Amino acid sequence: MEAPEHGIERLHHFVTERRRALGISRAQMFARGGPSPSTMNKALTGTRGLSRTTLERIDRALGWAPGSAETAMDGGTPTSHIPAPEAGCPAHEHVVAVLESLRTQLHTADQLVADLLGSSHAR
């Protein structure tokens, strides 16, 4: 489904898309510091608007860069917020190592697929 052009419906589209990507429910979003499901429902039905504080809570709960929820409502696209790693953080170093390994595996898989497709087209 394509995102509406602007407004709460556009924000809702991106919030739903992001929750699905994160594998979290509305209640889990609330537990992560986001607005309550009832606040979101009231905004969607027009019963209540979204305050700047609520928009900031959405950004934090979904791991978006500050201002992303407001940007989405204005017709833009939210962006992910990845905090700068702490120097010497073992968790960060582990994540980097895993990502580098995945990059290598994906490159190898891509080469294998290219070889297979190349050989099947040659027949």
Are residues 69 and 14 part of one domain? yes
Domain-located, residue 67: yes
Domain-located, residue 64: yes
How confident is the prediction along the chain (123 residues), in pLDDT tens digits per residue? Answer: 688 888 899 999 999 999 988 888 989 999 989 999 888 888 888 878 889 999 999 999 998 999 999 999 999 999 987 665 666 666 667 777 777 888 888 989 999 999 999 866 554
Instruction: Note down the domain range covering 93.
Output: 84-123
CB–CB of 86/92 below 8 Å?
Answer: yes
pTM of the model: 0.64
**b/e burial code for range 34-70 (CB count within 10 A of at least 16 → b):** bbeeebbeebeeeeeebeeebbbbbbebbbbeebbbb
pLDDT for 83 equals 60
